[in-house]
Amino acid sequence: MNPHVRIIALSNVFTRSMHFVKKGDVEEGHCHSYDHATLVSIGAVLYEVLDGPCGNTVFSKTVHAPNLVYVDKDKYHRITALEDDTV
């Protein structure tokens, strides 16, 4: 299942909050045209860099809260909750 997503805007800065209700919930592989950081504020995730839309993992790491993950632009990535109620 996908996480519950909430978009918050302050002036022209947008923040996207994702609540992974259950362990195993996945934000499917996707990429962006800009670098960004993902904050794991509660719980833990498996962060994976993929070789493209087909989804083969080329790099992965486990990230426990509180911690940041730096995501390079134009890199497909996937985030999987490792604990219930991960944010």
Tokens 């996937």 found at: 78
27 with 78: CB under 8 angstroms? yes
Q: What is the pLDDT of residues 25-79, one digit of tens each?
A: 999 889 999 888 889 999 999 999 999 988 899 999 999 999 999 999 999 999 9
Tokens 């919930």 found at: 25
Query: For residues 22 and 30, what is the distance between their CA atoms, to the nearest angstrom?
Result: 21
Q: Say yes or no to pLDDT of 1 above 80.
A: yes
Average pLDDT over residues 6-32: 87
Least Cα distance to 73 among 42, 32, 23 occurs for: 32
In sequence order, what are the residues at sequence separation of 6 or more whose Cβ sits closer than 8 angstroms to the Cβ of residue 36? 71, 73
Q: Say yes or no to pLDDT of 21 above 80.
A: yes
Query: What is the structure's pLDDT at 86?
Result: 97
